[in-house]
Amino acid sequence: MFVSNVGLGRLVGLGWRQALLSFTMFGDLFEEDYSTVSDYQYGREKKLKTKGLEPPAPREFTNLSGIRNQGGTCYLNSLLQTLHFTPEFREALFSLGPEELGSFEDKDKPDAKVRIIPLQLQRLFAQLLLLDQDAASTADLTDSFGWTSNEEDFLDLTVAVKNVSSLEDALWNMYVEEEVFDCDNLYHCGTCDKLVKAAKSAKLRKLPPFLTVSLLRFNFDFVKRERYKETSCYTFPLRINFKPFCEQSDTDDLEYVYELFSVIIHKGGCYGGHYHVYIKDVDHLGNWQFQEEKSKPGMNLKDLQNEEEIDDDPLIILKAILLQEESNLIPVDQLGQKLLKKIGMSWNKKYRKQYGPLRKFLQLHSQIFLLSPDESTVSLLKNGSLQAESHFPRNDQHIFKTLTSESPGLNDGTSCPHWFDINDSKVQPIKEKDIERQFQGKESAYMLFYRKSQLQRPPEARANPRYGVPCHLLNEMDAANIELQTKRAECDSIDNNFDLHLHLGPHYHFLNGALHPVVSQAESTLDLTFDKRKTLGDLRQSIFQLLEFWEGDMVLSVAKLVPAGLHVYQMLDGDDLTLCELEIADGEDLFVWNGVEVGGIQIPTGSDCEPLLLNVLHLATSSEGEKCQQLVESPHVFPSNAEVGAVLTALAVPVGVLFINTTDPAGEENWVAIPKEDLKKTFREQGLRDRSSVLVQDSSDDNSLLLKQGKWFTGMNEVNWLQVQNLCELGSEEKQVKISATVNTVVFDIRIKAIKELKLMKELAENSCLRPIDRNGKLLCPVPDSYTLKEAELKMGSSLGLCPGKAPTSSQLFLFFTVGSDVQPGTEMEIIVEETMSVRDCLQLMLGKSGLPGDRWHLRKMDWCYEAGEPLCEEDATLRELMICSGDTLLLIEGKLPPPGFLKVPLWWYQPGGSPGHWKNHQDQRNGAPSPGGVWRAAATQGAPGDLHGEVSLRYLGDLEISEEATVAELKSQAMTLSSSSGFVIPSPAFLRAWTVERKRLGRLLRINRQQLRDYKLGRKTEICLEPLQEEENLGPQDVVLRTRMRLPGERAYAPCVDLVWDTARGWTAGSLRQRVAHFCSLPVEKIEIAKYFPEKFEWLPISSWNQQFTKRKKKKKQDNLQGAPYYLKDGDTIGIKNVLLEDDGDFSTDADDLGRGTPRRPSSHDALRERSRDLGCGATTPGRPRAPEASLSIHVRSFR
């Protein structure tokens, strides 16, 4: 039998036809058998589905890409990988251009001829070569050919396995042995028309460059009538000579020598299983390295010792890691992760104690490593990269080469072939001897691929995956890799970012044993998303930048919201530690403060003094001062480490007995007395927790509660009743009645019994409800009839009011509401609404009940401080969605809310009291004094001291509704359109400067005109002030605006203020500021003195370039930063300037300062000299801050011999 040759282009048909025959001939043979496939494969596929939005993982250490299994495509994946690792086929496919195949852009055109299958195959091969992902997808490819069969001629030697021990034996039987026709089995000759003796045989006439051999592993047993798989031993050579099986010719013997380069393996039985492939990497595209090999056999003992010493030298390890990067550039965080993978230990555990933090180590070796300005990325300097290897000792150079040999081609040996096991997505290196394991068994070879040994690859193709790939595919893969890197960076950021809730100390006050917001929770808290891999110092710096108004030291402490309020626990320390190392959790509450006091009060911190909110029950006192038999309940806050007896002190009970509420195993509540000796125990030791109940009995009252058998009583009768007051019929004789009950009594039964005993009309049974009465006599939310006393949380002895009207159903809400934010007890109105009602409908219903006209109203929920909280902005949301509950109080506030994404900003006009350099009102302040309430007289914190100490006016312009996406420049433009600003002549928005207004003073400067308002994180209560300028101003992000005033020589006064813009790009140092001021005043820098003014304390703090501090431990000069202590310099601060050529007494104060401090005495020259000497010797400190530690002075004297 003669077999014709098949060209290289026909191999495409081999892959498709084999794949299609696999599905059509063998039924469910190629269905995945999950029991025989490794857990890795299908666990990985399921994970991919759940994380579909995440980008694929990068390639693993082999630097080769697998193919994802679509379900039953493992055989196709193996064939595709074989074709891909046939470089001649791959390059022939890439050589087909648009002339032969068309393009994807024309596939929808009716007259265009586009061959989708080879185009998709080109793209798949390009992804396998160049795209940085662990596995490619064949979804587009399989969709393109739709699994339709197309018969083509190809070379496919099918050999028997049954009763044959090897491939050579099978070929011998097929192409060498002859079948003889004689005796009774003669051959009929067509030429002579006779039966003659003959011999029949088959020979291979011509061999192709690539030969495919299919092993008939699957057979049919006609006796058992079932299929089965041959698992007997069947060997095949790695190198085979086909000459004995071919026709005799003069062709060189080497033309018949073939080498094995791919083995498709089937694992499982004839009714199911899984395919993977062993492939020889002809072009050495992958990294053939075994991770489990720790040392090489050729290494001697000295080499191994040197390699162990490498781990002790971080310089060698870090250089080797950076040299493996394409651009020698890597984020510092990833450098630490790669170091962990290489040596199996993190930097902090192995090197930190000896070398310090990683960033510090990189800074100390600046001749080798180059850090970015923000210290987020690091790279090798060019000379450090070129001479990296030469810097190593000679005996370590071979180890350095080993460290840098993980990229493809660096450690590839030419002596042994590189084989890989490609199992769908997973790619692992194997050794050539591993092929012998596939000779027999349930996991054995199914198809063999041989290539001519004389086929040679060009040198430039070696370890070069870009070789032969068309330019358009190279560009497509490069763009895809950039997109993958971007998506991975985004996912990495999402995975490593967490939310922090920053509670700002200046917005809190200490009240009733805990911290509470001064205004509202939203105004006092900032939400910050931060990378948990960054350090505490990075977090602190970010908060400094976020809170431009912050003055003084900044301390971060872990806090927690407890029922009593906000409590501060441990202080965070260690700016070099990451947030992960500090065990900061997602959603953590952090308190930002000065570490000493809040609102002038030193607060307790730590878990020992955690505040407890206790419910204290005691007998009510009548208006005459006598005690009644009615219990009242009031909340009290105590520290956990306080003595239990503090309850008696808080209630002013000199001698008494305390009872705590306990629950027995049967679920019944009992009151147990605390022994007198246990009153010295702390609340924590006594087992009290938040919301625990404590009963106080005054021992001087004989008629009070007595203890009997662990339960409490009134007189001698056990308290098992509720007191119901008649609030339905005022004319009734009965005012109140006691109804006996247990914790399991239903409220409906109590109500009906109360109606009978109060002798009320029976009609009230259908139209009445019970409402608890608090200690202030206020009626609370009605209790549903179906509740038991335990479910309604009603305690024995409580007072209830029998009121007209039905209780709300389970789908309804009982709400209180009032007009305005000034809530007076007893003035609230009541309403019952459906919980599915929208905020808009609820607002209209409340307006109608209040008799208020108009639509310029909105709702706010009253917070726990009985103040107006956040507005209910989502008018279309239901009350249930906004978590409005029965018993909540809503406030009707005048003023329509801005639409979502908009701000309603009150605008003010800055009037600095006629200081020069500002545009004046052409109508002379609107021809008269402003209307009352239209002008604030604010302290001139940013204005000039001295003569203008008095006041700075802020004139109200009106409210401006503006989008959060608007820029600062757009805010200024819209403000100029207000009618109230028509009297001011401003050429353009560039002649305006925008500030926030905080506590009736200028706060932050909105310096960048192009920046959106959203970026400044303006709250709903933010107010903005506009300051007119004489010249256009476009401030940069590093520019700081200061108010400078020149000291008048011979007088204790200053000239009018002049604004100075200081570029802080080179640092916030005193020297930089002094140079800028000297240049601004046209004076030599050594002939001026400057000081910052603190208007709240009427004091000046000189700014000297000599006040750098020296620390004993580091012996290193520490540059001062004017943003920090003691200056806390910011926009709008006043800087006094003194010309020492004219006046050199060291005094910056004015007479007004002396009056403000209450010290009219003018300091003498001796006092000034002593003050200046103290500043130079000990470092400047903030006036009026006696708690600030003094800086030590270290003088180093060199030893001379």
- Show which residues are catalytic: 74, 274
Note the Cα 1123 to chain centre separation in Å.
28
* Strand 497-504 with 588-593, pairing: parallel
Q: Which two tokens stand for residue 530?
A: 């931060």
Burial of 1020 (0-12, 13-18, 19+ CB in 10 A): middle
Contact 404, 318 (CB under 8 A): no
Task: Report how far apart, in Å, the C-alpha atoms of 998 and of each of 543, 741, 796, 1004, 1019 are.
Answer: 18, 57, 50, 8, 12
Phi, psi of 1050 (to 5 degrees): 80, -5
Quote the CA–CA distance of 214 and 449 in Å, as a whole number: 9
* Alpha-carbon span 610 to 292, nearest angstrom: 53
Distance CA 429, CA 419 (A): 6
Contacts of 195 (CB under 8 A, 6+ apart): 186, 187, 188, 189
How many C-alpha atoms does 1196 have within 13 Å on its Cβ side?
A: 7
Residues in the chain: 1201
Question: Which residue, 380, 335, 381, 374, is CA-closest to 358?
Answer: 335
* Cα dihedral: 139, 145, 147, 150 (round 10): -150
Burial 468-479 (b: 16+ CB within 10 A, else e): bbeeebeebbee
Specify whether the CB–CB gap between 558 and 567 falls below 8 A.
no
**Which class for 584: exposed (0-12), middle (13-18), buried (19 or more C-beta within 10 A)?**
buried
DSSP letter (8 states) at residue 812: E
Beta strands 194-196 and 187-189: pairing type?
A: antiparallel
SS3 605: coil
- Residue 588: DSSP 8-state: E
- Copy the structure tokens of residue 871: 């507005």
Contact 335, 319 (CB under 8 A): no
Count of Cβ atoms closer than 10 Å to residue 161 Cβ: 22
Residue with token string 């070696």: 462
Report the C-alpha dihedral over residues 1166, 1167, 1172, 1173, rounded to 10 degrees.
70
CB atoms near residue 667 (< 10 Å) = 9
> How many other β-carbons are positioned within 10 Å of the β-carbon of residue 685?
13
Query: 1174 near 1193, Cβ under 8 Å?
Result: no
Q: Note whether 599 and 366 are within 8 A (CB).
A: no
| Rounded CA separation 302/1037 (Å) | 58
Residue 602 three-state SS:
strand
Q: What's phi and psi for 748, nearest 5 deg?
A: -60, -45
| Rounded CA separation 285/295 (Å) | 24
- CA nearest to 612, candidates 652, 657, 650: 650
Cβ neighbours of residue 1020 under 8 Å, at least 6 residues apart?
522, 871, 903, 904
The amino acid that residue 1125 corresponds to is A
Buried b (16+ CB within 10 A) or exposed e, 1134-1170: bbbbbeeeeeeebbbbbebbbebeeeeeebeeeebee
Residue 1110's beta-bridge partner residues? 1117
